[in-house]
Amino acid sequence: MVQLNLPENSKVKKGKYFKDRTGSKNLKKVNIYRWDPSSGENPRIDTYEVDMDNCSSKVLDILNKIKNEIDPTLAYRRSCAHGVCGSCAMNMGGKNGLACTKPHSEIDGDIDIYPLPHLKVRKDLIGDLDGLYKQYKSIEPWLKSNSKSESEEIFQSKEDRKKLDGAYECIMCACCSTSCPSYWWNGDKYLGPAVLLQAYRWIIDSRDDEKQARLKKVADELKLYRCHTILNCTSACPKGLNPAKAIAEIKKMLATANI
C-alpha cells in the first residue's frame, strides 16, 4: 500500500553536532542517518564537520574518515571499496549508489547520507535486505539444463553470449530496487528491478532449457507488471546497467510468446 508518511517510530529527529577539531579551512558538513537499536529512541541525523583537505575523493572515504577520526560508533557496510562487492550501497545526496564509487565532489552543498530507502533499518546505514534475497532465491538463479552429460561443456555462440552483456554484471547491491517507488509500495509482492534483471538474465541464456517455465513464473500482475517505467532503477544503477529495459524485454517476450 502507498504510505507516504513514515511510521511514528521512524520519524527522524535532529541529532548531535560534531564540530571540527582540526582547524581546517576546507570543511564540509555531512549529515548522516543514525539509529541505535539498543537506545529505544527514534532515528536521528548527526552532523559532522569533515576536513576535506585530508580526505580522498569518494563518499566512502568520508565515512571511513568519520569512523576513524571522529565517531567510531558509526555503522555501515563496506568491503571491497572498488564497486565490485556492492556492500556500501546507500542513499547519498538523494540518490542511491555505491559509496565507494560515488565522488563526493558530485554532491553540491552539505552531503546527506541515508540508508537505502524503505528498508527496515538494522543500525545506522545498514538496511535489512532479507526480503530481496528471498525474492532472488524465488527466481532460481542457476542454470537448468536438460543435458545428461556432466563432463561436457554446453557451447554458446558469440551472439548468444552477447545477450548476457548488461545483465550478468549485476552485483545485487539493491540500489535499483530500493530506488523504485513501485517496490516501496509493493515490495512484498513485486519482484523489483534487481531480481527481474536476474530473471531476464536466465530467461535469455541460450544454455538454459527452462525458458518457458521461467517466463510463466514471472508473468504475474504483481511480480512483473508493477513496473511503470519510472526509471529510477536505471538512473540509480552504479554499474550503468538498465534493469528497466530488461523488464520491458520480459514484457515483450510475454506479449509475443505462446504460454
Does 254 engage in binding with other proteins (CB under 8 A)? no
Nearer to other proteins, 146 or 256 (CB): 256
Strand partners, 97: 90
Scanning 20-28, 131-139, 149-157, 246-254 for contacts with other proteins by CB under 8 A, the matching segment is: 246-254
Nearer to other proteins, 120 or 137 (CB): 120
Looking at 12, 75, 84, 219, which residue binds other proteins (CB under 8 A)? 12
Per-residue binder mask for other proteins (CB under 8 A), 138-177, x = binder: ----------------------------------------
Give the Cα separation of 1 and 252 in Å (integer): 27
Give the Cα separation of 183 and 222 in Å (integer): 10
Looking at 29, 95, 144, 211, which residue binds other proteins (CB under 8 A)? 95
Q: At what angle do helices 243-256 and 211-218 cross, to 10 degrees?
A: 110
**What minimum distance in Å lies between the beta carbon of 160 and other proteins?**
19
Does 235 engage in binding with other proteins (CB under 8 A)? yes
Give the Cα separation of 214 and 203 in Å (integer): 6
Query: CA quadruple 102, 103, 108, 112: dihedral positive or negative?
Result: positive
Does 242 engage in binding with other proteins (CB under 8 A)? yes
Give the Cα separation of 100 and 80 in Å (integer): 8
Sequence-distant (6+) residues with CB within 8 A of 203 are 211, 214, 215, 250, 253
If binding means CB under 8 A, how many residues of this protein chain bind other proteins?
45
Scanning 65-73, 93-101, 203-211, 217-225 for contacts with other proteins by CB under 8 A, the matching segment is: 93-101
Asked whether the beta carbons of 91 and 59 are under 8 A apart, the reply is no
CA torsion angle 137 142 144 147 (round to 10) = -160
Does 40 engage in binding with other proteins (CB under 8 A)? yes
Give which of 178, 182, 184, 174 is closest to 227, Cα–Cα.
182
Looking at 91, 135, 177, 198, which residue binds other proteins (CB under 8 A)? 91
The number of angstroms, rounded, from the C-alpha of 146 to the middle of its chain's C-alpha atoms is 34
Nearer to other proteins, 95 or 144 (CB): 95
Task: Point out which residues bind other proteins (CB under 8 A).
Answer: 4, 6-7, 9-10, 12, 33, 35, 37, 40, 42-43, 91, 93-95, 112, 114-122, 127-128, 179, 181, 184, 228-232, 234-235, 242, 244-245, 248-249, 251-252
